[in-house]
Amino acid sequence: MSFDSLPNKDEVDPEVASFIQMESQKAELQAQVHKLADVCWEQCVDRPRDKLDSRTETCVSNCVERFIDTSLTVATRFQKLIQGAGNM
């Protein structure tokens, strides 16, 4: 398959570009949620049960909060780096 016939960036319909960007962001969010579930499951759940006990529930809650805090910190740091590079 050849990509030579694809339009360049300037020829893409803005509505299509916006849709693609939104779908890409949704996919990234979904990937983060899956990663979060995997990490917290591995860390907190020793064996599957019918219901989470309070210790496991607390562990999962703390894990999620740490994951979100860390993700926000990293995103904020990258945003500052990008803004700093743009000001040079």
Which range of residues forms the domain containing residue 20? 9-87
Tell me, yes or no, whether 4 lies in a domain: no
Tell me, yes or no, whether 1 lies in a domain: no
CATH number of the domain residue 37 falls in: 1.10.287.810
Tell me, yes or no, whether 3 lies in a domain: no
> How confident is the model at residue 49, as a pLDDT?
86
pLDDT truncated to tens, each residue of the chain (88 aa)? 455 555 565 677 888 888 998 999 899 889 988 988 899 999 999 888 889 899 999 999 999 999 889 988 988 998 888 888 777 6
Q: How many domains does the chain have?
A: 1
Is the model's pTM score more than 0.85? Answer: no
Distances (CA, A) of 64 to 31, 39, 79, 87: 15, 9, 22, 35
- Residues making up the chain, counted from first to last: 88
State the Cα–Cα distance between residues 83 and 55, nearest whole angstrom. Answer: 42
